[in-house]
């Protein structure tokens, strides 16, 4: 379940770069002040607006109507339409009836940050193992200005409490990791924190948490304690029942905090004090192992640098004309130039990877720096992504599932070929298949199957694909055709859906009345369309599952 506070708040609306004259309702929130401040003269306005649209969609849980977007951003309707058309062309949103909906593909931006950071790749497995061992949630968080942002969640939450998503931002002072990060804050950081607290006493600028119920101002004392002890507690600072204990994971090269590891529980199982007494020792051992892993990690594998990532945009401009905002598309491509082995890039490297002119790449980077998405290091003259990149879609999209990923693609296919399309998985016994997603057409002869229906695996095309031994003829053909076996007059065609490792995790099919297509016409006309659909589902699955667990049901 997404972390939806059980209350309604008025979310602060950042001026979308369009209209500084429309102040956010309820006053401005200083932690957002970088984005509400006047952009520098060189900033790319369409990029500022496009980012505002993505962030409003993210805060809304992934879906908004164009008119709601208009209200949330303060942009004109025609601008909203051109921005969403451009984002749709990039595959970052889809236009679903009257709504604009974020797509899994957008996670490639957050993936670029997480890959460049390297911590998830190096530490996730230890966090997951600790969660399994303790049977409690374990998370990893990084500092994000005066907040903390999650980069990993191994969730085991049975009680009715909020569970946070990768990319969620929490106010530092209401968490256990917060005081640990604050041990490294500068005077400027503290000043900014005081300012934000004064301007936003109820934490309305943090949509992932319920409003602050009371004012506790012991954050400075908790920070001093954290500095002395090397750990910190959250005793129900976010909501009643939620407790956490945290330990910093230090970068062996610099000694600074790379991230903070948290064990999260509920007072029905552990009081905060009890967490410290019983689980802190195990958390510390895990953190020590994580620090050893960081110290001995080999440098990231060096692939060939990307080139010309942004050159496709000119063709789209040709095709779509005014509806395609090329400067937005080019600007967004800049974020995808960052990767595991390419965490800090010079302007020249960004220009080369994207194929953009230096001046264009530079203006995009200046825009991102203004928006707090990119940091410039003057010493090395390089740019790096900040945790805030995760605010571009990651929290809602990180809670997706394979059926949800597949649904729009199955609907497109069903509409295109006018036959029902489905997704299924093998049940644990491997004797049955179970339907997990379905898009039906309104043919009179359509088959009476719904999500959840189970059928014997061996008589269905879906089952044969799922059961296929990699060396079997069906597997080599890459599809299965089942003819009138399950039911007289029913014909079905199925293909595999594979995960990032190439393992078949599901199958997609088209089912029809035999009279509508001969066997030959199935293979000739329907198979290519079904294969394209499976490829689209796989592409989304591969992006979404790079740093998050995507359930198959
Ligand atoms: C969490 O991972 O959900 C979490 C971590 C630390 C906190 C609160 C929640 O203080």
The Å distance, Cα 351 to ligand 1 centre, comes to 39
Query: Crossing angle, helix 45-59 and helix 358-371, to 10 degrees?
Result: 40
Whether residue 181 sits in one domain with residue 82: no
CATH number where 99 lies? 1.10.10.10
The Å distance, Cα 262 to ligand 1 centre, comes to 6
The Å distance, Cα 44 to ligand 1 centre, comes to 36
Whether residue 78 sits in one domain with residue 33: yes
Whether residue 427 sits in one domain with residue 331: no
The Å distance, Cα 111 to ligand 1 centre, comes to 22
Please tell me the distance from the alpha carbon of residue 512 to that of residue 492, in angstroms, as a whole number: 6
What is 522-536 written as a DSSP string?
Answer: IIIIIHHHHHHHHHH
What pTM did the predictor assign? 0.92
Domain assignment present for residue 1? The answer is no
486: which 2 tokens?
Answer: 């399950």
Domain boundary at 233, 261, 296, which? 296
Reported residue count of the chain is 553
Whether residue 360 sits in one domain with residue 255: no
Whether residue 314 sits in one domain with residue 283: no
Q: What angle do CA 442, 446, 449 make, to 5 degrees?
A: 115
Contacts 24+ apart (CB under 8 A), 11-15: 11/59, 11/204, 11/207, 12/200, 12/204, 12/205, 13/56, 13/72, 13/73, 13/74, 14/52, 14/55, 15/74
Tell whether the torsion through CA atoms of 118, 185, 54 and 42 is positive or negative: negative
Alpha-carbon distance values, 491 to 84, 456, 460, 481 (Å):
39, 15, 9, 7
Whether residue 166 sits in one domain with residue 228: yes
Taking CA atoms only, the protein residue closest to ligand 1 atom 10 is 175
Contact 365, 350 (CB under 8 A): yes
Whether residue 233 sits in one domain with residue 147: yes
Contact 240, 122 (CB under 8 A): no
Domain extent at residue 356: 12-112+304-395
Domain assignment present for residue 3? The answer is no
Of residues 260, 195, 275, 268, the one with CA closest to residue 33: 195
Please tell me the distance from the alpha carbon of residue 260 to that of residue 143, in angstroms, as a whole number: 9
The residue whose CB lies within 8 Å of the most ligand 1 atoms, and thus the one to mutate among 5, 139, 162, is 139
The Å distance, Cα 286 to ligand 1 centre, comes to 17
Whether residue 333 sits in one domain with residue 247: no
Domain assignment present for residue 5? The answer is no
Domain assignment present for residue 7? The answer is no
Whether residue 162 sits in one domain with residue 139: yes
| Contact partners, residue 397, CB within 8 Å, separation at least 6 | 62, 102, 103, 104, 106, 107, 544
Locus of tokens 């199957």: 449
Of residues 303, 305, 304, 307, the one with CA closest to residue 356: 307
Taking CA atoms only, the protein residue closest to ligand 1 atom 7 is 175
The residue whose CB lies within 8 Å of the most ligand 1 atoms, and thus the one to mutate among 138, 170, 208, 219, is 170
Whether residue 315 sits in one domain with residue 286: no
Domain assignment present for residue 188? The answer is yes
Whether residue 416 sits in one domain with residue 535: yes
DSSP state of 372: T
The residue whose CB lies within 8 Å of the most ligand 1 atoms, and thus the one to mutate among 5, 177, 265, is 177
Number of domains in the chain: 3
CATH number where 173 lies? 3.30.450.40
Whether residue 449 sits in one domain with residue 530: yes
The residue whose CB lies within 8 Å of the most ligand 1 atoms, and thus the one to mutate among 138, 141, 209, is 141
Domain assignment present for residue 553? The answer is no
| Contact partners, residue 249, CB within 8 Å, separation at least 6 | 119, 123, 140, 257, 258, 259, 260, 261, 287, 290, 291, 294
Domain assignment present for residue 71? The answer is yes
Please tell me the distance from the alpha carbon of residue 245 to that of residue 190, in angstroms, as a whole number: 23
Please tell me the distance from the alpha carbon of residue 46 to that of residue 147, in angstroms, as a whole number: 28
Domain boundary at 361, 395, 429, which? 395
**Per-residue tens of pLDDT for the chain, all 553 residues:** 334 333 333 333 333 333 333 333 333 343 444 446 789 999 999 999 999 999 999 999 999 999 999 999 999 999 999 999 999 999 999 999 899 999 999 999 999 999 999 999 999 999 999 999 999 999 999 999 999 999 999 988 665 677 899 999 999 999 999 999 999 999 999 999 999 999 999 999 999 999 987 666 799 999 999 999 999 999 999 999 999 999 999 999 999 999 999 999 999 999 999 999 999 999 999 999 999 999 999 999 898 999 999 999 999 999 999 999 999 999 999 999 999 999 999 999 999 999 999 999 999 999 999 999 999 999 999 999 999 999 999 999 999 999 999 999 999 999 999 999 999 999 999 999 999 999 998 765 556 789 999 999 999 999 999 999 888 888 888 999 998 766 778 899 999 999 999 999 999 999 988 888 899 999 999 999 999 999 999 999 999 999 999 999 9
Domain boundary at 296, 323, 352, which? 296
Domain assignment present for residue 552? The answer is no
| Contact partners, residue 442, CB within 8 Å, separation at least 6 | none
Residues with Cβ within 6 A of ligand 1?
137, 139, 164, 175-177, 234, 238, 244, 262, 264
Taking CA atoms only, the protein residue closest to ligand 1 atom 3 is 164
Contact 179, 193 (CB under 8 A): no
Chain-centroid distance of CA 444 in Å reads 40
Looking from the CA of residue 178, the nearest atom of ligand 1 is 10
């Amino acid at each position: 379940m997404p972390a939806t506070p059980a209350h309604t708040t008025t979310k602060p609306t950042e001026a979308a770069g369009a209209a500084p004259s429309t102040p956010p309702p309820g006053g401005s929130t200083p932690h957002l002040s970088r984005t509400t401040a006047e952009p520098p003269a060189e900033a790319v306005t369409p990029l500022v607006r496009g980012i505002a649209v993505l962030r409003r969609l993210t805060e809304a849980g992934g879906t908004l109507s164009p008119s709601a977007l208009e209200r949330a951003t303060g942009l004109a309707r025609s601008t909203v339409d051109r921005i969403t058309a451009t984002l749709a062309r990039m595959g970052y949103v889809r236009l679903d009836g009257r709504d604009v909906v974020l797509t899994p593909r957008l996670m490639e931006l957050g993936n670029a940050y997480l890959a460049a950071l390297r911590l998830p790749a190096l530490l996730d497995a230890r966090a997951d193992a600790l969660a399994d061992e303790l049977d409690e949630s374990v998370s990893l968080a990084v500092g994000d200005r005066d907040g903390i942002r999650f980069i990993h969640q191994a969730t085991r939450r049975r009680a009715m409490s909020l569970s946070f998503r990768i990319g969620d931002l929490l106010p530092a002072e209401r968490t256990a990791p917060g005081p640990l990060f604050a041990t490294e804050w500068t005077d400027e950081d503290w000043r900014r924190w005081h300012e934000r607290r004064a301007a936003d006493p109820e934490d309305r600028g943090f949509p992932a948490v319920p409003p602050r119920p009371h004012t506790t101002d012991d954050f400075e004392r908790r920070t001093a304690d954290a500095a002395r002890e090397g750990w910190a507690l959250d005793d129900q600072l976010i909501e009643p029942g939620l407790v956490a204990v945290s330990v910093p994971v230090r970068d062996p090269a610099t000694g600074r905090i790379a991230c903070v590891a948290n064990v999260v529980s509920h007072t029905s199982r552990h009081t905060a004090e009890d967490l410290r007494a019983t689980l802190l020792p195990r958390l510390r051992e895990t953190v020590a192992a994580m620090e050893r892993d960081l110290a001995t990690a080999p440098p990231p594998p060096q692939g060939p640098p990307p080139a010309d990532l942004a050159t496709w945009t000119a063709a789209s401009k040709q095709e779509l004309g005014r509806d395609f905002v090329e400067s937005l598309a080019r600007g967004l491509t800049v974020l995808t130039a960052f990767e595991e082995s390419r965490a800090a890039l010079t302007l020249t490297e960004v220009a080369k990877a994207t194929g953009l002119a230096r001046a264009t790449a530079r203006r995009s980077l200046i825009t991102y720096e203004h928006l707090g998405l990119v940091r410039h290091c003057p010493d090395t003259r390089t740019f790096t992504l900040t945790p805030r990149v995760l605010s571009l879609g990651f929290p809602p999209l990180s809670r997706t599932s394979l059926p949800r990923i597949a649904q729009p693609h199955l609907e497109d296919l069903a509409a295109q070929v006018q036959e029902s399309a489905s997704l299924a998985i093998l049940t644990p016994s491997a004797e049955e298949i179970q339907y997990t997603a379905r898009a039906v057409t309104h043919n009179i002869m359509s088959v009476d199957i719904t999500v959840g229906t189970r059928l014997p695996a061996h008589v269905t095309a879906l089952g044969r694909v799922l059961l296929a031994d990699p060396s079997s003829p069906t597997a080599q053909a890459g599809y299965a055709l089942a003819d009138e076996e399950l039911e007289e007059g029913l014909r079905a065609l199925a293909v595999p859906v594979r995960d990032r490792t190439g393992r078949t995790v599901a199958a997609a099919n088209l089912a029809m009345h035999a009279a509508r297509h001969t066997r030959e016409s199935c293979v000739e006309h329907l198979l290519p369309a079904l294969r394209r659909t499976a490829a689209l589902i796989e592409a989304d699955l591969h992006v979404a599952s790079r740093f998050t667990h995507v359930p198959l049901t």
